[in-house]
Amino acid sequence: MRFMHYLYEDYAYLRTLSASFRKWSRLYGYDEIDPPAIEDWSRYQDLPQAMTKKLVKLIEPSGAIGCLKIDNTMSCASMTLKLPEGTPLRRIAYNSKVFRYGQAGSIDEILQLGCENYTDLGAAADVEVIRLALNVLEDVGIPMSDLRFEIGNSSFYRAISEMVELSPEAVETMMNLIEEKRLTALNAFLEGSELTEEESLFLSQLPGLFGDFKAVFTKASSSRFGDACQAELNGLKALYKLLENLGLTRIQLDLSQGGNEFRYYSGNIYRIFSQRTGKALVTGGRYDGMNGVNEACGISFNTANVVEWMKTMHTPLNVPAQFDYAVLCDTDDPGDALQIAAALRDRDFSVVLVKLKSTISDTFEQPECRSAKFVLSVEGPDAVVFDQRMNESRRSEVQMLLNQLEIHGKRRNTINETT
């Protein structure tokens, strides 16, 4: 098996990404769920054969067949089948793992972070999920200047496959070669097919329908497939204009892409790349009609690629204080420390207890002390606050806080500051 390979330090980056995503998804009106990890095998029977081979099957003693969840988008859409009629289901966010067979038969464990929009807003919903993704990326330190956008339309892809006389298996092989831009292998495939010379020539040029939006749009519109796909091209142009209005300038058009390996996209598709790493940070698109959902679109973060960017391209991670207070605890007589910690938590401060060691330097070397905004020690009638970073605005706040705390019926009014 191939499991997620995050190191402990990586979770600081994942926490930052998850916290930002939760903040922005809430501001956009999304409800977070965690789709079940085990699902009914029959739900995936209509997937392309290449994908059903990636399902991790589970067989019960009774003979019933289940599988590990392979994709959160499909799981979220299936929830609409179980809701009472009239129940609103507009926006869903998720932070959940999926499992797939990878190369050489290994089981890949993948963390997916994304959102699904089921509103009937058309292209405005596309722009909304893209804006949400941009807000999150900027929030974790990835500048807009590093981002490159690709948009396409899976309907254009399907129209091409339907206009050539090839078996479904041959079409799938051909389109995979086009998507992967394997020109030599594609030309060899076309030469061995029974397609006309004109069809083969056009199909051999499809990998080149990628680049500057306006140039590719003009080329596609004037091609033999332009009339058949005019509605899709017009939809892409409308989306391009909306994205331009957001101030996005590096927008490329890629008409050689079918969306993703599941083939469930029904219209516009979009991807956000880092120019520095060359890797996709966000993918998404429309999947109208899935599981009876009339209109739907969504995005998913490639968490591994985002974390990699944050680790290798960002300035060294300045982890914010994780706790408001670290309260030093005398393990032989922990009563005062326990009570003052409880009083602070009652006032919505985050607090951790830290063992009071023989020297103050050893005490402060403990990671909890270094991760706290303030380190507080209770000694007799005095409360001692240690913080080398404390500024004037925090002094008055801490003073007022300690004046309110009553331990054993006494007020801790004295603050001794030590640096």
DSSP states of 88-102:
---EEEEEEEEEEE-
> How many helical (H) and strand (E) elements, i.e. helices and strands, does the chain have?
15, 19
Beta 406-407 vs 410-411: how paired, if at all?
A: antiparallel
Cβ atoms of residues 305 and 280 within 8 Å:
yes
Please give the annotated binding residues, written as ranges: 71-73, 100, 112, 116, 264-265
pLDDT digits (tens, 9 = 90+) for 249-286: 789 998 877 665 667 788 889 999 999 999 999 999 98
Interatomic CA distance for residues 417 and 374, integer angstroms: 11
216 DSSP 8-state letter: H
Please give the annotated binding residues for L-histidine, written as ranges: 71-73, 100, 112, 116, 264-265
Domains of the chain (ranges, CATH numbers):
10-33+112-312 (3.30.930.10), 323-418 (3.40.50)
User: From residue 270, how far is each of 228, 237, 239, 257, 356 by CA, in Å?
Assistant: 22, 13, 10, 10, 54
- pLDDT mean for each 10 residues of the chain (419 residues): 63 88 94 87 74 83 87 78 66 90 80 90 91 94 91 78 77 81 89 83 82 88 70 87 85 78 79 93 87 84 92 61 83 85 86 88 83 77 57 43 53 44
Give the pLDDT confidence score for residue 87 in this predicted structure.
63
User: From residue 253, how far is each of 177, 214, 237 by CA, in Å?
Assistant: 18, 8, 10
User: From residue 131, how far is each of 115, 240, 308, 321, 357 by CA, in Å?
Assistant: 12, 13, 22, 29, 50
Give the pLDDT confidence score for residue 170 in this predicted structure.
83
Residue 130, by phi and psi: left (phi above 0), alpha (psi -120 to 50) or beta?
Answer: alpha
Give the pLDDT confidence score for residue 28 in this predicted structure.
95
**Residue 111 is encoded by which pair of tokens?**
């963390």
Give the pLDDT confidence score for residue 267 in this predicted structure.
83
Give the pLDDT confidence score for residue 333 in this predicted structure.
84
Which among 349, 325, 321, 348 is positioned nearest to 337, based on CA atoms? 325
Give the pLDDT confidence score for residue 100 in this predicted structure.
85
